[in-house]
Amino acid sequence: MSYQKTKTKQCRLVGVPVQDGAGRLGCEMGPSAYRTAGIAKALSDLGHSVTDLGNVAPLPQRPMSHGNAALKFLPEVAGWTAALSQVAFEASAGQDAMPIFLGGDHSLAAGTLTGLAQRAAEMRRPLFVLWLDAHPDFHTLETTESGNLHGVPMAYATGLAGFDGYFPPPPARLDPHNVCMMGIRSVDPAERRALETSGITVHDMRKIDEHGIVALLRPFLERVVEADGLLHVSLDVDFLDPGIAPGVGTTVPGGATFREAHLIMEMLHDTGMVSSVDLVELNPFLDERGRTATLMVELLASLMGRRVLDYPTRSF
């Protein structure tokens, strides 16, 4: 696999203070925590241009009801999705653009994925997605039992049925064959059945334990390079082991280690293909003195060109 030469990126920070899709309060503070943790300086120190576009606000939506009585904040999440799809399309315009979406819960990906898919279609390049998460977020409005809509964005973006009339019509859909999920370790039965026929590549933590990061990730990255695709990385805090990243409301034991996570980021940087990033599910209310926010910023810096050996020794 040949790699592109590293380029200076036009980083565009987009705050998304959405918590309507999560099961508990706190994610709306995520964008402020990333800014406090020095995300802009971390990027500019690496030579990238950084523009903070501020925070997105949801578009107003009509009241709506659904046969699944468990659903929570359906109009609100639909409003966020409509706004974010438009913002993601606009923020990804221009040469070397790198929108970085600061969540906020993972429901934001319903908007970012579809807006970025629209941009890719306009550029006539395929969009690939690396989904780093403990959960596949592959429920539909009918199948979710918790009713928390951070569990539906991948199903919506890839065109599963049941969203018409509730979520906005997507400007473009994501090809599920271009999605690779890593770190999965919590899957509901309905999601498991849907994933079996979806075409999505799923590497759960058992596969990572058995084969290692490199053997699983490299074939996917080779596909991206060969197709000259755009690569979106959606990084959920709960991809990481809660022992190193406690600031999340959906902790699942057995997540990625510090070194595994940095290895993924370094491999992504080596390709030169990453064109956009989600940082999601940070809940500062549950964090320990900014520990998780700081780690997420460090991982982003690794993706953008900083190596682990460049890091100062930390005491936490």
Q: Which residues carry a binding-site annotation for Mn(2+)? A: 106, 133, 135, 137, 236, 238
Which residue do the tokens 């923020």 mark?
91
**Residue 240 dihedral angles phi and psi, to the nearest 5°:** -85, 155
User: How far apart (Å, rounded) are the C-alpha atoms in residues 69 and 272?
Assistant: 45
Assigned token pair, 216:
């699983």
**106 has catalytic annotation:** yes
**236 has catalytic annotation:** yes
The neighbouring-strand residues paired with 202 are 181
Helix (H, G, I), strand (E, B) or coil at 294: helix
Assigned token pair, 79:
């409003």
Helix (H, G, I), strand (E, B) or coil at 216: helix
**135 has catalytic annotation:** yes
State the catalytic residue, choosing from 48, 106, 139, 203: 106
State the catalytic residue, choosing from 135, 139, 203, 262: 135
**204 has catalytic annotation:** no
State the catalytic residue, choosing from 175, 281, 287, 298: 281
Element (H, E) at 49: strand 49-55
- End-to-end CA distance of the chain, in Å? 38
State the catalytic residue, choosing from 133, 175, 191, 278: 133
User: How far apart (Å, rounded) are the C-alpha atoms in residues 63 and 312?
Assistant: 51
Element (H, E) at 300: helix 291-303
**Helices 213-227 and 258-271, packing angle to 10 deg:** 20
Which amino acids are annotated catalytic? 106, 133, 135, 137, 150, 236, 238, 281
